[in-house]
Amino acid sequence: METKKFYPLRPIQRFFIDTHFKKAKSTMMNVGMLLRLSPVVDMERLSDAVNEVLKAHDIFRCRLTINPDTEDICQTFDGDIIEVQIEKISDEEFELLRKKRLKTPYKIMNQPLYHIYLFETPTAKYFYVDFYHAVMDSVSIMTIFRRELNFNYLGRHIDETESYAQFVAEEAITFPDELEKGHNYWRNMLSDFDAEKNLPPVDVKNVQAWTKGILDGTFKTISEEFFRTTRLSENKFFLAAFMMTLAKVTSSKKTLATWLDNGRGKDEKNQIMGLTTNIFPCAWDFEEDMTFADFFNIFAGKIRQELDYKKSLDIVYNEGLADDVPSFMFQKNIVTDHFTIGNTTANVIDMPPNEISAAQNSLDLKIFAGDDGMYKWRLTYDAGRFSADSMKKFIAAMEEILHVVQNKDTRLSQILS
């Protein structure tokens, strides 16, 4: 009999799972969308294409379980694939599903970690796809899954796929000295975090903690043309501006944030379906005055060096060192408003908010590069602490900073005064 293989959780997986346990009835870890399909889509062909993708990648066999030797949560990759079937229902039944029961919290232990449904009503066709965030990231969903689904629908099958289980096993190989050095680095960085000093002032009372607030918009003072001209890293530039905004809004020279790295690099791991991302803390003390150009060069170099400590990030998650720290994410070349199926376009339609949504971070800024050369943003925040007005002021401050720092000779003291 073959011995059952247990794989450790990646540090970020454990962080997501522990965060979810604190708010277990929340849909905060659901990552997905509802799509309205073109009337000409062949639903049988689409269901076959979806099932082919599921069978090709071991991430869809992932189950969270308890390792009997360590008595800790781990993962296996030998679960059954739950094949997708077409459900024919009335328009009224579908509308009730959309509003009340389609997006539900995951029961994560020994259960499939995806919800995929195909619906056909007398007037429309729908595709709902939803993954547990601790096993799937946005690159997997919006790039790899979408591409392979369309390939299969068109009859172009993917011959080889990369194993997520193998990726987890290889990443788990560590050396004690390397880990200890990184642990000390992250502990020292985050030891000074103080929510009263490093977060915007609390201006809300009598609202339940972790109530989810969301604001959306587009930055008006910066476009892709600036980065084509300067060849600066968009990710690091916006992260630097985010750090400066925190300093300005909090009137604190010392700033702390976390940022998301997709963990894939330019040439490696690009075909792995799963969660390869890492969340890195970063810190900066704006006490020393210098030009923005000098600051950015030093800051970008510091970020590159910190990637060497990624295997020690477990200490950040396990000890909750960054649980309340503001977070930042930049995404490019990830289309979030439609899928291409055959020669048709399936458009995302809204899922109404529900009472089980919750904020994951105190303050979470996501920036998306749009096809029009502009940068959209989404600010998710704890509405139990911050009002919408104060968050609008935060974005306004960042907009001003983005405008000013395009003059690289501007001094930090001028910006943060």
pLDDT at 265: 67
User: Which of 102, 107, 79 has its CA nearest to residue 20?
Assistant: 107
Convert the pLDDT of each residue in 263-296 to its tens digit.
886 555 578 999 999 999 999 999 999 999 999 9
Same domain, 321 and 372: yes
pTM equals 0.86
Q: What is the pLDDT at residue 351?
A: 78
DSSP state of 318: H
Q: What is the CATH number of the domain that holds 129?
A: 3.30.559.10
Is the predicted pLDDT of residue 101 greater than 90, yes or no? no
Residue 130 pLDDT grade (very low, low, confident, very high; cuts 50, 70, 90)? very high
| Domain end position, chosen among 142, 167, 192 | 167
Is 243 within a domain?
yes
Q: What gap in Å lies between CA 145 and CA 272, rounded to an integer? A: 10
Could you tell me what percent of the chain has a pLDDT over 70?
Answer: 96
pLDDT at 332: 86
Residue ending a domain, choose from 109, 133, 167? 167
Structural domain of 146: 11-167
* Claim to verify: residue 252 and residue 388 sit in the same structural domain: yes
Q: In this structure, are 257 and 139 located in the same domain?
A: no
Domain boundary among 167, 196, 213: 167
291 and 372 inside one domain: yes
Contact between residue 113 and residue 64 where contact means Cβ atoms under 8 Å apart: yes
* CATH code of residue 401: 3.30.559.30
CB of 322 closer than 8 Å to CB of 316 = yes
Instruction: Identify whether 159 is part of a domain.
Output: yes
Which band of pLDDT confidence, cut at 50, 70 and 90, is reported for residue 104?
confident
Give the C-alpha separation, 10 to 76, whole Å.
13
**Quick one: 223 and 93 in the same domain?**
no
Residues 31 and 153 reside in one and the same domain: yes
Residue carrying structure tokens 């890293």? 233
- What's the structural domain count of the chain? 2
* 125 lies in the same domain as 245: no
> Residues 105-125: what's their mean pLDDT?
95
- Shared domain for 45 and 180, answered yes or no, is no
What are the pLDDT digits (tens) for 66-75? 999 989 999 9
**Statement to judge: residues 308 and 203 lie in one domain:** yes
- Mean pLDDT for all residues in the chain: 91
Alpha helices (runs of H) in 191-313, residue ranges in sequence order: 195-198, 224-230, 234-250, 292-306
